[in-house]
Each structure stands twice: as structure tokens, then as C-alpha cells.
Amino acid sequence: MEPWILLLGAGIALGCVSSPPDSCEGRCGEPFSEEDECHCHAECVTQHNCCEDHERHCGPDGFSSSRDSITDQELLELSEQLYGADHNKARPSDIAINPQHLAGPDETGDKQDRSPQPLYKYVNEELFSKPTYASFIKLLDNYQRATGREEKVTAEELREQERFLEEVMKTELMKKLFVFLQGKNRYSSQQEFLQDLKQMWFGLYSRGDGEQDSSGFEHVFSGEVKKGKVSGFHNWIRFYLLEKQGVVNYFSHNFNGPWDSYPDVLGLQFSWDGFYKEVGSAFIGCSPEFEFGLYSLCFLARPGRACHLSLGGHRLSVQTYPWTKSTYGSGRRFIATAYVMSP
């Protein structure tokens, strides 16, 4: 099997994506399928097999009616627009990586370090003084990586969350995303969009034993350790900073994307203080707002399913999953995970 066939974030073959979510968000009017956990077509009401949030999304006032649905073509077009609007991304001269060993499917799980050198040969750290980078980096030390340990959020950490959201919303990229979502009747104002981003990404929930120990942001960008393994951790900036400190050890890669500029995509194996990540994935060289915006779009448009995008003429997909055990607001879902897949 070729390495690009793997889903980078999950290590399973394409076509083995999980069953559809238990939500009608983005699914109103979908044809009936026996494989679906619950249904969102017009007849589900009389057949008593609708998803619990059918009325909210597909009722007369729902935002997932056919005119407001987000089509596959719109996702391809918008992702190209967001790619072009990533003005804070790294230039080719800003980053030099050394991928070294290309791991085959039988090598990703054996925990062998086949790359003696670090992944990052050089990063121009002037990037990190840009407002979105600087506010993003301040968030990374706000978390306890072990699941099952309660996260205590200080007033300063709340201000850091607000600052990051303020800075990303100043960018052309996030403004484009908001205008698109507003046009689809997802949000009536930028303030409503901001508040929802804050809840879906930073709202706490329990991955452990009832403790409020996790959030979408922590899992995706900062990384966690669960049952002795690295969980999440899909961000290149976090990886670079920890590799520089000597606490992350790069082992190999199983996919290197086709891009000859940044952002690029890498599937990789590594250890974090001795905890192993068998098949991780990351955009390389993108700005924080690009990754944050793209994952948010896919979570809103295709929660629980593959979200097919286009960057610089190359196809790729993002997988997101909603957290199903708790909600916020009127039944909205937190982000459980989000990661880039192979094209």
C-alpha cells in the first residue's frame, strides 16, 4: 500500500471514514441511507427516525435548508480563496525542513527513529512576532497535556483566548470566511461568529473521568497524552518549538504533500517526551488563522465527515469530528478533533 493512501491523522485507509454524525447540520434533504445513524430527509418526521437536532437545522427557520447548504463546489472555491488570502504564511525562504526517512505502512507503528536529524533545519522566527502567531503561541502553555486532569482556566488565559480571536478576525482570511458563512445564514453578525468560535474551540469538556480536561484547541493545536499515546497535536509551530527544546523527537514521515511552497502537508511519526504518535499530520508553514479558519469551515460544513478542499490547484481533505457527549448553547457541538488528510 502506498503511504499516501493513509489518512494522516488516523492511520486508516481512505474509504474507512466513520459513519455519518448524529446531527443534521449540513445534511438537510439528504437521501435516505440505511447506514446513517439518524436521518434528515423530509419524511423522517413521519417515520420517527430524524436526528435530534433535525428541527433546529431543517425546520422552517433552520440554516441548513437547501438554499443555505454548503456545496462541495463552494468548499473547493472558498478553500482556494482562503489559501490565497493567507498573507501571513511562511515564504519558501522562511522554513527549511529535513524529512529524511519515508516510512512504509509496516514501519509507522514500530516506534523506530529512522531520522537522526531534527525535522526543522531552519525557521525564520520573525514570523512569530506577527500578531496572530504571537497570540497563538501564548495559548500553547495554557494546558495540561494529560487527559483526566482538570483544566483550570485563569483570567489571564481567558484574555489570551480573546486576544487570539481578535487578532485572527482582523485578517482578510477570517473576514472572507465570515462573509461566506453569513451569506449561508449561519451567523447574523461577526460577534455571533466570534462567540461561537470561542465555544466550539475553547469550551471545556471531559475526555477522562468527568473532569473538564480537554477542548478542541488543546487537542488539535497543543496536543494531549491519553492512555500512553500522543493524541491530537497537529500544529507545525507547536512541533517546531518543542523540537527546539529537545522534548519532541522526529522519527519519520509517511506522506509529503505535492506543494512546492507553503503551506505544505506532512504525515509524520514522532515521540513527545517518550509518548508516541504513530500517524500524525500537519500543515507546514501556514499561519495560525489559516489552519484555524479551514478547520472551522470544515467543522461547520461537514462535521464528522471528510471535507474536500483545494489549495493551489491540489486537492486535499480535512476530517473533523464533533464531541458527542456534551453540548453548548442550543445543542451545538464542541470540536473533538480536526486534522488534514492525504489528498
Nearest to 138 by CA among 146, 128, 147: 128
Q: Are 226 and 218 within 8 A, CB to CB?
A: no
**277 is annotated as an active-site residue:** yes
> Of 39, 41, 54, 234, which residue is the catalytic one?
234
CA dihedral 161, 125, 235, 253 (to 10 degrees): -170
Q: Are 342 and 319 within 8 A, CB to CB?
A: no
> Of 219, 226, 253, 308, which residue is the catalytic one?
219
Q: What CA–CA distances, in Å, run from 215 to 14, 67, 258, 283?
A: 27, 32, 31, 20
In angstroms, the CA 111 to CA 228 distance is: 13
Q: What CA–CA distances, in Å, run from 222 to 272, 302, 335?
A: 12, 23, 14
In angstroms, the CA 65 to CA 229 distance is: 41
How many CB atoms lie under 10 A from the CB of residue 259? Answer: 18
Strands laid side by side in the 275-284 sheet: 224-226, 229-231, 275-284, 264-272, 248-256
Q: What are phi and psi of 222, to 5 degrees?
A: -95, -35
DSSP sequence for 82-118: HHHT-TTSPPGGGEEE----B--TTTTTS------S-
**253 is annotated as an active-site residue:** no
Considering only the C-alpha atoms of the chain, give the largest distance between any 2 of them, rounded to a whole number of Å: 62
**234 is annotated as an active-site residue:** yes
In angstroms, the CA 49 to CA 43 distance is: 9
In angstroms, the CA 78 to CA 88 distance is: 18
Which residues are annotated as catalytic? 219, 234, 277
